[in-house]
Structures are given as C-alpha cells and as structure tokens.
C-alpha cells in the first residue's frame, strides 16, 4: 500500500486531466437523511476518469516504446483516454473495438487521431486481436485496469477527494469493473484515513470482483449483463484483485432499476446525465444508506463517466420510477363483467396509474397489466396488493420480472389459443447488420416463429423475445442449434407473465 501511495502522489495526470469538483447532492441527501457528495469525473475532457490512468501509463513509457506506439482493446472510455493521451504525447495509437461498438464511441476515438480496428462481436474477441497485433507490430499494450501505472493514475481521484473534504467521510462508493479505480482509491484512502470505508459497487449481473473475493481467487463469469457496459467485466484483474481483496471494506451490487433511479438522482441534483456505470456507485450508496441509517460522516459516490448514448434515455426513464421504489407493475385478474374496471380503479384510490394494458379475450376473466405510482413502494405495495386480493382479484407482482418489463408490457393481449408446443426465448442480439439473418439462418429456418418482439435501447446489443413452435421431439435439436448460434439467451417458456398474457 505504501508503494502505491508513492506512485499515486507521483502520478502525472494534470497535463490532460482536470481536478473535478466534489458536488453536494442536496435533494438526494435530504431524502435519505445524509450528507451526500458526488465526485464529478464526468467533467474530464473525455467525460470519464479513464484519462487519468491512461495518461499516467503513456507518459512513463520509454522513448523507444513511445516511438513504437501503443495499442489497447476497449469499447468506450479507456479507448478515448488512450487516444487523447497518445495525441498529447505524440504517440501513435491503435484502438481495437468490437464491431458492435456504438458509432458515437468510434467517432470519439477517431477524433483524437487514433487508428480504429473493428473486430468481433465482444470485448473478449477484440482483446485477443489487440494482443496479437501487439506482438506482430511490437506495440505496447495499455491495459484498462490491471497495470500499476494505470491504477496509480486512477488513485489521484482519492487525493482530490480527501483534499476537498477534510471533514469525516463515512464511506466512499466506487464503481467496479476490472477494479483499477477501486484499487487506486482504496490504496490511498486506507493509508491516510483507515476509518473511512471504501465500498465497491458492481452491477448484479456483472459482479466479477464480488465473486472473486468470496471465492478467494479470480473467477470467470459465464456471462455479464451489458446495461452498465463500462463495468461489464467477466474477470477481475490480477493486481486489482490483490489490492481490492486486501483493502475494500465491501463489494455490493445494484440492479438495472436502481442504476436508472441513480441516473435520475444525478440529473435532479447536478443536471448532468450519468452513464449507467457512472451512476452505479450512487445506486450502491443509496442501498447502503437505507440499510445503515446511523451516520458517522459524509457519503461520497464517484460519478465515473457521462458517455451516455442518447437513445438509452427512454429505457432509463421507463425504469427509474421502479428503481426509486415509486412505481410497481402488477398483473391483475378481474372478472370480465360490467363494472369490474370501475371497481378495480376505485380500489387503487388516488394513486397515479402509469400504465394500463388490456385486450379483450373470450372467457370469464380479464388480465390487466397495470403500473401504479406510489410514494414509497416498499411500504405501500403490500397493503395495496392485499386490498386487491381481499376483493377476490388474483394479483401477480411483476415489478422485478425482466421479461415483463422489457417485452410483455408492450404485447399484452396476444394469446393464440390454438397454438401448441410454443417455446419462448429471450435473447441478447449483437446490434449489428446481419445479426437477425444469422439467427434466422441458424434457428429460424427449422421452426415456425410464433412471436417476435424487439426494442432498441441504444446499446451495443438488442433485447429480443422470440416464440418458436417446437414439438417435444425437437427440443434437443433446437438446443444444439442455439449452442452453435452462441447468442446469450434465457428460456422464458414458464415465465408467469408470459403465460398470463400471451400463452395458451
């Protein structure tokens, strides 16, 4: 730790980076009963803290290494950090990016003068290609997190925080992907203020550091969620794992809805749109504050970046209310008789209805998909559901059902009574030309497609819900085709929301 403190204090970052403010989040603080500060790394020249580590690495290269050039693999902020640092130092830079990388990020890297090489659908493929080019061209590989100079550069964030806030700090919340930022901050904070907690925050579907610490060794996740793409890392780094295991007080997780709610909190307090990875630490801070109401000091969260694709805002807006525990989604079965809807709405009282989906279907029951806005869902949801059940309604809480929130809410009423042998699969398609045709060539030519729902969310992958008519004897062949296709998917055939609104 002492060695890293020296490295951090000796780091050269301010040739390109700026000292960012530690803003008070007054509205959020009043709501949760704490003093909350937000470290504004979104104000860096590339709108991310990544410029610190990238520049500190490049500026320390030998003259020979600078002359040869550098290379990295990245789909986002690290790529821009390396490209800008290389331009500042007059070093040639090659950035390998997946072909699924959104155009806004590719153009940002090209703007700084770097050569962009597009290859593969995933970061892993791009990473392997970058290491191959490193060997072939004699370049220096700049790792996004697992490098002492990169870690030291990121640690300068902690130097600024402690200078800017000399009063007691109870905890600093840091987003964790590979762990470079968390390792750097923890190394410095634990040396100067060991009483201050440093807590890592990961997406619940990409918690590689948490898994590694619990296992006592680095593990490789089978897959990671891509909503917070800036921290979607399948395996923690070697050096970052060593430091985080020794120095972090805890690693906690946040789901997509909590991240969306945190993005909204950041906007309401400081009028900036954080990217999902940038708001991740604040989501963890809010969860910690709810579970630990007694304060010993200020709570600080790192807004690590603001490279948000504009198209993703609609998804964030849809999910923020649920993440704030201000909205619930319910599937309610009511009698298909005159007056039922009036009685149902009366039971909801003066609460705002955010969504109401229904389509007539022959039979005695009507199935309603309804969104209800609440002041505090954690407190108000149980009595509301009980009141509906007391009236004889069947109620299914689908607020946490990913398929219901992404797809079913837009498809209510599409039952096909004569349809048999339907299998429902939820996919993540790479957002690139030819992805659908590849699916149809690999799977669609053999099975009748009974349902297909897709919605673009401005990410580098698309969410797709597919129905296929597959006789029982064909399941093994379907599974073999899906394995060869290698698109991530979940079998949702038994999903309760699907069976209620769309199934036989």
Which residue, 382, 458, 470, 387, is CA-closest to 423?
A: 470
Active site residue ranges: 50, 304
Give the full edge-to-edge strand order of the sheet including 70-73: 115-118, 93-97, 70-73, 140-141
Structure tokens at 373: 């806005």
Which residue, 371, 401, 389, is CA-closest to 333?
A: 389
DSSP code of residue 197? E
Strand 169-175 and strand 298-303: the pairing is parallel
Question: In 10 A of CB 56, how many CB atoms?
Answer: 30
413 sits in the region (left: phi over 0; alpha: psi -120 to 50; else beta) called left
Element (H, E) at 348: helix 340-348
DSSP calls for 393-457: -EEEE-TT-HHHHHTGGGSTT---TT--SEEEEEEEEESSTTHHHHHIIIIITTSEEEEEEEE--
Q: CA-to-CA distance for 372 and 353, rounded, in angstroms? A: 5
DSSP calls for 114-180: -EEEE--SSHHHHHHHHHHHHHHHTPEE--SSSSHHHHHHHHHHHHHHHHH--S-EEEEEEE-SSSH
Structure tokens at 180: 């470079």
The alpha carbon of 21 is separated from its chain's Cα centroid by a whole number of angstroms, namely 24
Which residue, 2, 142, 23, is CA-closest to 72?
A: 142
């Amino acid at each position: 730790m002492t060695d890293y403190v020296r490295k951090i204090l000796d780091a050269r970052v301010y040739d390109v980076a700026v000292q960012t403010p530690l803003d008070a989040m007054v509205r959020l603080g009043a709501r949760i009963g704490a003093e909350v500060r937000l470290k504004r790394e979104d104000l860096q020249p590339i709108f991310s803290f990544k410029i610190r580590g990238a520049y500190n690495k490049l500026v320390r290269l030998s003259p020979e290494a600078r002359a040869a050039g550098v290379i990295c693999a990245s789909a986002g902020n690290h790529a821009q950090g390396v490209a800008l640092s290389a331009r500042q130092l007059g070093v040639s830079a090659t950035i390998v990016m997946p072909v699924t990388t959104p155009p806004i990020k590719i153009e940002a890297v090209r703007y700084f003068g770097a050569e962009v090489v597009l290859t593969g659908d995933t970061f892993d493929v791009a990473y392997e290609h970058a290491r191959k080019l490193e060997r072939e061209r004699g370049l220096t590989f700049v790792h996004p997190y697992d490098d002492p100079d990169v870690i030291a550069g990121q640690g300068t964030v902690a130097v600024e925080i402690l200078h800017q806030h000399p009063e007691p700090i109870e905890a600093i919340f840091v987003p964790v992907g590979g762990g470079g930022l968390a390792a750097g901050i923890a190394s410095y904070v634990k040396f100067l203020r060991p009483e201050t907690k440093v807590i890592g925050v990961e997406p619940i579907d990409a918690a590689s550091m948490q898994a590694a610490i619990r296992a006592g060794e680095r593990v490789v996740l089978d897959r990671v969620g891509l909503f917070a793409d800036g921290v979607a890392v399948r395996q923690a780094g070697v050096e970052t794992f060593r430091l985080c295991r020794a120095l972090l007080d805890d690693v906690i997780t946040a789901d997509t809805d909590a991240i969306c709610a945190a993005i909204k909190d950041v906007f309401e307090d400081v009028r900036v749109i954080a990217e999902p990875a940038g708001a991740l630490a604040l989501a963890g801070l809010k969860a910690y504050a709810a579970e630990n109401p007694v304060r010993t000091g200020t709570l600080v969260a790192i807004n690590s970046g603001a490279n948000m694709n504009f198209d993703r805002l609609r998804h964030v807006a849809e999910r923020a209310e649920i993440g704030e525990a201000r909205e619930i989604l319910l599937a309610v079965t009511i009698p298909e008789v005159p007056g039922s809807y009036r009685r149902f709405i009366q039971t909801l009282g003066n609460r705002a209805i955010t969504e109401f989906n229904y389509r007539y279907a022959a039979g005695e029951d009507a199935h309603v998909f309804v969104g209800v806005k609440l002041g505090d869902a954690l407190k108000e949801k149980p009595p509301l559901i009980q009141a509906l059940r007391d009236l004889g309604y069947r109620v299914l809480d689908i607020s946490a059902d990913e398929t219901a929130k992404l797809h079913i809410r837009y498809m209510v009423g599409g039952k096909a009574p004569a349809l048999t042998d339907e299998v429902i699969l939820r996919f993540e398609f790479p957002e690139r030309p030819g992805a659908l045709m590849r699916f149809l060539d690999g799977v669609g030519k053999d099975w009748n497609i009974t349902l297909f729902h897709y919605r673009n969310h401005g990410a580098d992958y698309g969410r797709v819900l597919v129905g296929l008519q597959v006789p029982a004897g064909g399941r093994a062949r379907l599974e073999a085709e899906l394995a060869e296709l290698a698109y991530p998917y979940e079998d949702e055939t038994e999903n309760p929301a699907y069976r209620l609104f769309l199934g036989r």
